[in-house]
Structure 1
Amino acid sequence: MTASNEAEATRTHPEFLGGDLVSVMLPLPLRASYDYRVPRGMRVRIGDFVLVPLSSRTQSGIVWGPAVNDISPNRIKEILRHHDCPPLTAVAMAFIEWVAHYVMHPVGGVLKMAMSATNALDPPKSSTGYTLANRSSKIRMTPERERVLNIAGMTSPQLAASLAQKARVSPSVVKGLAKIGALKTISIINVEKNYLLDPNHPGPKLTETQAEAAKKLIQAIESSKFSVTVLDGVPGAGKTEVYFEAISSAVLQGKQVLVLLPEIALSAQWTERFRGRFGSRPAEWHSDLSQNRRRIVWRAVAEGKIQVVVGARSALFLPFQNLGLIVVDEEHETAFKQEDGVIYNARDMAVVRAKLGNFSIALASATPSLETIVNVKRGRYDLLHLPARHGGAALPDVEIIDMIKFPAPHGRWLSSMLENRIRETLGAGEQALLFLNRRGYAPMTLCR
């Protein structure tokens, strides 16, 4: 992936050499940074992740700049270690400070959301992999050994357990073949695939209106300037397929993309549509991920190996190196608001992140929020409207039943008109779904 302007700007920061004093921001609810001395032989820049002593323990933090506190030099402790991790970009640091100031929260508390996977600050440990060596006729061959050697010759280096599982043998068979020289060992890194997508993977044919909307989104991305585009349209109008075209364009330009969804439950259906369009799944980021998966995704995002991330509001604070497009789907949803800890609206903060990074953001919704509508009317946001459903599908007829004119029979709570419609639906082999406007409380009780 090509280097981003964000990452390049971070590399131009001056180096701090041994003996220099720097301020380190810690992911704790603190409003100020702590000063530390760079030890002899170490070099750090602003944005680097470092390990420092804090009272009787150690804590990872980020070099935030030169020392700012007036402390006696003999009281300043040295940095313990420089984490082997790409630095946080200058734009990401500015975003953290902006959010902290706007929501009146300590900078360290906001930084904690960006350092939510501290076990990813160092590269994953290597493991022993096994691959085929030169086969020799002197090896006493058994069916089990034959299966292992055949599979090892057709695949990349595998862990002993993985190779044994594929060959339906125990790991001891694999290790035994390595001892006699039939397999050779190779050091491998246990990481997931790089989530590489195919932006040219064929997708559904767009209508003329959809293609025009996609073209305007792509033009906004190619301009490399900040812009907010509202993608409005009736349900089923193809908004997702339109912004998929924008994602394809961003990926082709070597940029990373973030798609924010309001609910984790929505990501399963959305992910299947994404895989159908790009031939692979995107990386996911939400609270239900295991610690190991969080480490893998966080590290891959920081290294620029992940092209597209789909996630909940916390994904906004991932350490992107080359973020070039944000899509906020269902932007009107209240689930984008975090009500505890750092209180913020991810939709609004996503707009700020795009402005600081000087790139495009798309807000998609069939029912845009009032704030978004006002921003469109004031000319702050551009509007793309999709007036018709894809494929000529029509919206369902909606009819209000007046319960005064059509009262429910005694002892019942459904009107006769609704009961008749349900019977007609079931008789046609279709399904009916009733939404109740209350939960956990019954205004009346029917006894039979």
Structure 2
Amino acid sequence: MAVARILFPMPLPEPFDYAVPEDLDVEEGSYVAAPLGKHQRLGIVVEMLGDEAAEGRTLKAVSEVYPTPPMTKAMRDFLAFAARYTVSHPGHLLSMALRARAGLLPSATETVFTATGETPPRMTEARAKVLDVMAAADDPMTAAQIAEAAGVSSGVVRGLAEAGALRATDVPTDPPFPPVNPDLPGATLTAEQAEAATELCAAVREDIFHTFLIDGVTGSGKTEVYFEAIAETLRGDPEAQVLVLLPEIALTQAILSRFTARFGAAPAPWHSGLSDKERRRTWRETAHGRARIVIGARSALFLPFRKLKLIIVDEEHDGSFKQEDGVTYHARDMSVMRGKLEEAVVVLASATPALETVVNAEMGRYTRLKLSARPGAARLPDVELVDLRADPPAKGMWLSSRLVHEMRATLAAGEQTLLFLNRRGYAPLVICKACGERLKTPGTENWLTEHRYTNRLVCHVTGYSILKPQMCPHCGAADSLMGVGPGVERVAEEVRVLMPHARIEIFSSDTAQGGDATRGIVERMENGEIDVLIGTQIVAKGHNFPNLTLVGVVDADSGMKGGDLRAGERTYQLLSQVAGRAGRAERPGRALVQTYAPDNPAMLALADGDRDGFLQIERDVRAELGLPPFGRLAAVILSAPSAEMVDQAARDVAALAPNGQGIELFGPAPAPITVLRGRHRRRFLVKSPRNVDLSAYMSAWLGKIKLPAAVRMSVDIDPYSFL
């Protein structure tokens, strides 16, 4: 009897061996059910052993094989690599690949009805209503849908079916996605775009692993270029699949219409905003190879593709590709590894590529494709720094006279303005005027943000939310709580006073909750129904508003605070992306950037359009300090209910750190967010040379550690957040 080695999506020490009954068709990669303890558990066969492995052993037997194509070897190897690299348990990685387990089974069916054109022998008023509904229907409908639309009972529908006036058909509740057509005509490409597309298409035809960087200014047509690579991939192999990763759900919604126009059908979506039904549909269709194009957020990288031949990471610089909770990973870097294992082409696209990506391109690991200009009459916006030391806003206001003047002129010209401030709500801090108390989330050091539209105080780290108190919870003073600093709601309030006739909307995760809300704001902006759009970073990526000619950055300095090694780079990227929303059609655009630090290298580079010069400064600093991409980092965070407990645990953990050549250990030290959800936090930072296997070092260290039950530990290889 053959033996299957099964990995379960659980934190178990290793795969377990099971006997395979002769009547079950089991192979490596099969999705199976097997007894584990008192329950049947879903698992993956990671290895098949010969009959000799069962000799002398009493093994439980595999119970069931799911009717899903086996997980490919490339996918299994990818999960194993990701587990080693992130110092995570393989079962946790497998769990990420099984997030829609209902997709393992075939779709359930439902009965729908269509009109046959026959007239029933007996006609009643209710039957007439049903036939009227069916005459106007474009698609088949269920009995419940028909009955609701006609205002009758479902029995009337069934009676018409029995009489031959309606035809009943059983169809899947999760139908396949409409087929895409790679042969539809694409946009007319410029010579520069066509050259880049030709090189991508040639690599796709070679059917080998290759990584490209499309380095193009905002509005240069990066999407149209990689559309050609998608079309070539789908044309060249009827089984090939394509994955497109985007950093934001809002961006996913915005680009779906472009995919539909280019390929005749929308791609299969995958992101946290989907319903369980939508997720299981995408998972099932991807696993069976029927979803040819999948577009989604970072977790789409863990979908079980049958034949993944092209991976595109759009806005590859974006920090949203870094997963901070649970298994910590960077989807951009993991995409390159998955592409290597799948022998697929990987395309990274950005107007402001990460320094790590630029260095990889310059060292020859990636092929760089430059797009230096916008097509047609569109040109890059002029960027001007507004020195708030010389032109401060009026007292209690946040917009300088220069920016207000330009906004009014833009409105008078019938054009649109975008104001950018990366702070949600009305005010980022609420204090008591009587006693000076700063309102914080219970059990943390996080300030509560005032949201005036909902009259709530919200913590954007933990999600804690309360109605705004009438009295100070510390001293009891009435009506003493005051918001300090601007959020997008306060800026909107100011604009309404300054420009009372302007049509103003806020675009943030508070106002764009879900795909419909996001699409609504984007469509109103595209249709010219908004004069001033005030938004957080959600507005900075991928949107194309033809009548937007002015961008105003309210507080350009906010991202420069703290000890983040990428603070300058991240600020430059974000502000450059925001400024790039202006002037994307025939009308020229301009951007005004309000700052108290106009001499900062990031601000000077933004005003001069000197991205390469800025990156050279960043490169020199990081090379000098041995920081990424010229060195490697890992972070360890310990947390416990008390400061004394976490300090003792940190001392114990530090004592177990192995010696390693070139390894530097910093800490333990209080984390920047010292108390979170009632737990005290301490942080280690580990630095190593680039050629050291830092994951192996961390694994060896963690293998020695035994923590008290109340102490928790998290590990982050290549940290992006330093909180």
Question: In which range does the TM-score fall when normalised by the shorter chain?
Answer: 0.7 to 0.9
How many Å separate the matches in 1 of 2:107 and 2:393? Answer: 66
The structure-2 alpha-carbon separation of the partners of 1:136 and 1:415, relative to structure 1 and needing over 3 Å to count, comes to: closer
Does the 8 A contact of 2:108 with 2:174 survive in 1?
no
Match of 2:271 in 1: 286
Q: Give 2:4's aligned residue.
A: 22
SS at match of 1:294: helix
Q: TM-score, normalised by structure 1?
A: 0.86
Q: How far apart are residue 437 of structure 1 and its match?
A: 6.5
Query: Structure 1: how far apart are the matches of 2:176 and 2:150?
Result: 22
Residues 1:108 and 2:91 are matched in the alignment: yes
User: 1:178-197 residue pairs with structure 2 within 5 A?
Assistant: 178-180=161-163, 183=166, 185-197=168-180
Q: Is contact 2:176–2:285 with CA below 8 Å preserved after alignment? A: no
Corresponding residue for residue 303 of structure 1? 288
Deviations 1:347-399 (A, max 9, x none): 00000011001110100000010110001110010011111012131212111
- In structure 2, how many angstroms separate the alpha carbons of the residues matched to 1:58 and 1:181? 46
1:323 aligns with 2:305: no
Do 1:195 and 1:307's aligned partners in 2 also have CA atoms closer than 8 Å? Answer: no
> For the structure 1 residues 136 and 74, does the alpha-carbon distance in structure 2 shift closer, same or farther, using more than 3 Å as the test?
farther
Alpha-carbon shift at residue 431 of structure 1 (Å): 3.8
Map Cα deviations across residues 75-106 of structure 1 (whole Å, 9 max, x no partner).
42111111111111111111111111111111
Q: Indicate how the Cα distance of structure 1 residues 395 and 186 shifts in structure 2: closer, same or farther if over 3 A, else same.
A: closer
- What is the DSSP-based 3-state SS (H/G/I as helix, E as strand, rest coil) of the residue aligned with 1:391? coil
1:55-91 superposed Cα distances (whole Å, 9 cap, x missing partner): 1111111111135998996642111111111111111
Q: 1:156 to 1:432 in 2, by over 3 A?
A: closer
In terms of fraction of residues, the more strand-rich structure is: 2
User: Which residues in structure 2 correspond to 1:126-165 (within 5 Å)?
Assistant: 126-130=109-113, 139-142=121-124, 144-145=126-127, 151=134, 159-164=142-147
| 1:71-90 pair list within 5 angstroms | 75-90=58-73
Give the C-alpha shift of residue 422 in structure 1. Answer: 3.2
Answer with 179-188 or 312-321: which moved more: 179-188
Q: Please tell me whether the aligned partners of residues 322 and 331 of structure 2 are also in contact (alpha carbons under 8 angstroms).
A: yes
Farther off after superposition, 147-156 or 385-394: 147-156
Structure 2: distance between partners of 1:286 and 1:210: 30
Partner residue of 2:203? 220
Residues 90, 425 of structure 1: alpha-carbon distance in 2 compared, 3 angstrom cutoff: same
| Contact kept in structure 1, 2:3 and 2:54, CA below 8 Å | no
Q: How far apart, CA to CA, are the structure 2 residues paired with 1:182 and 1:47?
A: 48
Q: Name the structure 2 match of 1:383.
A: 368
Gapped runs of 5+ residues in structure 2? 430-483, 491-723
User: 1:45 corresponds to which letter in structure 2?
Assistant: E
Given that residues 146 and 157 in structure 2 are in contact (C-alpha distance below 8 angstroms), is that contact kept between their aligned partners in structure 1? yes
Q: 1:436 to 1:314 in 2, by over 3 A?
A: closer
The amino acid that maps onto 1:288 is G
* Aligned position for 2:343: 358
Letter in 2 for 1:323: L
One-letter amino acid of the counterpart of residue 118, structure 1 = R
Residue 368 (structure 1) aligned to one of 350, 353, 360? 353
Counterpart of 2:74 in structure 1 is 91
- On the 8 A contact 1:195/1:283 being kept in 2, the answer is no
Deviation at 1:416, TM superposition (A): 3.7
**Following the alignment from structure 2 to structure 1, what is the Cα–Cα distance between the partners of residues 49 and 364?**
43
- 1:234 Cα deviation (Å)? 0.7
1:230, distance to aligned residue in structure 2 (A): 0.4
The separation in 2 between residues aligned to 1:230 and 1:307, in whole angstroms, is: 23
Q: Unpaired segments of 5 or more residues in structure 1?
A: 1-18
1:332 aligns with 2:317: yes
User: Which stretch has the larger CA shift, 158-167 or 36-45?
Assistant: 158-167
Change (3 A) 1:196 1:96: same
CA contact (8 A) 2:428 2:485 kept: no
In the alignment, is the contact (CA less than 8 A) between 1:130 and 1:152 conserved in 2? Answer: no
Q: Partners of 1:99 and 1:392 in 2: how far apart?
A: 45
Deviation (angstroms), 1:209: 1.1
Give the length in aligned residue pairs. Answer: 426
- The letter for the 1-side match of 2:374 is R
CA offsets, 1:278-332, max 9 Å, x none? 2221111011111111111111111111111110111001111111101000000
Question: Secondary structure of 2:34's match?
Answer: strand
Q: Secondary structure at the match of 1:306?
A: coil
Could you tell me which residue of structure 2 aligns to residue 14 of structure 1? none
Partner residue in 1 for 2:624: none
| Equivalent residue for 1:435, pick from 420, 437, 458 | 420
TM-score (norm 2): 0.55
Say if 2:322 and 2:328, in contact at 8 Å, map to a contact too.
yes
TM-superposed CA distance for 1:156, in Å, is: 7.9
Change (3 A) 1:117 1:443: closer
The structure with higher relative contact order (CA 8 Å, sep 6+) is: 1
Change (3 A) 1:148 1:73: farther
Query: How far apart in 2 are the matches of 1:181 and 1:431?
Result: 58
1:56 aligns with 2:75: no
From 205, 229, 241, the equivalent of 1:256 is: 241
Shift in CA distance, 410/146, structure 1 to aligned 2, threshold 3 Å: closer
Alpha-carbon distance between aligned partners in 1 of 2:68 and 2:396, rounded to the nearest angstrom:
68
1:202 maps to which residue?
185
In structure 1, distance between residues paired with 2:395 and 2:162: 84
On the 8 A contact 1:407/1:415 being kept in 2, the answer is yes
1:45 maps to 2:45: no
The alignment yields a C-alpha RMSD, in angstroms, of 2.9
Q: 1:171 to 1:323 in 2, by over 3 A?
A: same
Asked if the contact 1:132–1:153 (Cα under 8 Å) also holds between the matched residues in 2, the reply is no
Cα 1:31–1:313 change in 2 (3 A) is farther
- The CA deviation at 1:433 is 3.7
Contact 2:213 2:366 in 1 (8 A): yes
Aligned residue type for 1:38: V
After alignment, is 368-377 or 275-284 more displaced? 275-284
Rate the CA distance shift 1:31–1:370 in 2: closer, same or farther, 3 A.
Answer: farther
Secondary structure at the aligned position of 1:87 is classed as coil
Note the C-alpha offset of 1:188: 3.0
Report the alpha carbon displacement of residue 163 of structure 1 after superposing the two structures with TM: 4.8
What code does the residue aligned with 2:406 have?
R
